[in-house]
Amino acid sequence: MGIFKDHIEAMAAYAPPLEGRNPDDFTLLDFNERTIPVSDAIKQALVDYVQGNRLQQYPHYGDICERLADYCNVELGQVMVTNGSDQGIDLIIRACCREGDEIIIPAPSFAMYEQVAKVENLNIIKPLYQRDSGYPLAQVKAAITSKTKLIVISNPNNPCGTIVEPAAIIELAKSAKDVAILVDECYFEYSQCTVAAAIKECPNLLITRTFSKTWGIPSLRFGYVLAAEQNIKALLNVRGPYDINQLAIVAATAALENPEYTERYVAEVMQQAKPRLEEFCEAKGLLYWPSAANYLWIFPDEPEALNKKLQEAAILVRPKADAEGRTGLRITIGTLEQTEFLIKVLDQNLL
């Protein structure tokens, strides 16, 4: 017998394929990261902080919560910063659920939800997303029992990009007032879809967001939670006082002070590059899931062979299986130039 809980030792670690992802060697379209570097303003802010001889001090969060509250159009007490949105997800699940409780996580979705749920030894209910009907709202409602403590809505969902309209989320939250509703809005800047305005009206809503996807600083691990003030106070009892590193605060502050660079990138991705890739898929009869985010989940006839050809062309994408076990390729959408190169390679190798 080991020293850890039996169910922990029986688990497998979440191990994304990070090896060999060198941006000097590949166009990285596999992790839904931003495909261009951060702005000069962020780089300079980090250099200035390091050269200011303050690395020996504990993190000081300053006015970052005020800035985020202003950006999100919520009250100051409704914001908590986290070590990436992963920490927000972890804190919410741990704070809401006890061993043996039920959690509803529609599938397929982001692996961290299930990973945290397994750590807490929860019973996981997994209604299935459908390409035509999207989020399985009716099945989720039907699955709610007295043991249900949390429902996950990844909005838009990873890997399929499916969106759930705010009215449907609010209706669900009101119909299940004793159940926490975790709404992961990590692709908010791309989708522009949020339930932030409803967190006071629906105190069981908890929103997680990140600076990893749009703002381009996943290496620094910065995210935040939006929720009713009483929920933020409770979550602060669980989060440590120094969990967010100071360089993440510096970079996020600089990003919020200089949003134009990111706004231009988002506009190029969503208004130029994404429609171009969708147009290509339609012309080729290539099946894909409708997406509200910066990625498309496509289903070519020979996904493994196509993935190999993309790698040979120095393009990395992410193979992902659907609920029936059919492998698709989730492709991050970058700049228009990057997308045109991707399309050229796809066109040469589609079977």
- Domain holding 86, by residue range, is 40-257
pLDDT bracket for residue 5 (50, 70, 90): confident
| pLDDT tens digits along 44-56 | 999 999 999 999 9
The reported pLDDT for the residue numbered 55 is: 92
Work out the average pLDDT over 93-110.
97
Work out the average pLDDT over 206-231.
97
Q: Are residues 123 and 189 in the same domain?
A: yes
- Write the CATH number for 94: 3.40.640.10
The reported pLDDT for the residue numbered 124 is: 98
The answer to whether residue 1 is domain-embedded is: no
Work out the average pLDDT over 229-245.
97
The reported pLDDT for the residue numbered 348 is: 94
Whether pLDDT at 318 is above 70: yes
| pLDDT tens digits along 112-138 | 999 999 999 999 999 999 998 899 999
Prediction pTM value: 0.96
- Write the CATH number for 325: 3.90.1150.10
| Domain's final residue, options 225, 257, 289 | 257
| pLDDT tens digits along 54-79 | 999 999 999 999 999 999 999 999 99
Q: Are residues 60 and 74 in the same domain?
A: yes
Q: What is the 3-state secondary structure (H, E, C) of the chain?
A: CCCCCHHHHHCCCCCCCCCCCCCCCCEECCCCCCCCCCCHHHHHHHHHHHHCCCCCCCCCCCCHHHHHHHHHCCCHHHEEEECHHHHHHHHHHHHHCCCCCEEECCECCCHHHHHHHHHCCCEEECCECECCCECCHHHHHHHCCCCEEEEEEECCCCCCCCCCCHHHHHHHHHHCCCCEEEEECCCHHHHCCCCHHHCCCCCCEEEEEECCCCCCCHHHCCEEEEECHHHHHHHHCCCCCCCCCHHHHHHHHHHHHCCHHHHHHHHHHHHHHHHHHHHHHHHHCCEECCCCCCEEEEECCCHHHHHHHHHHCCEECEEEECCCCCEEEEEECCCHHHHHHHHHHHHHHCC
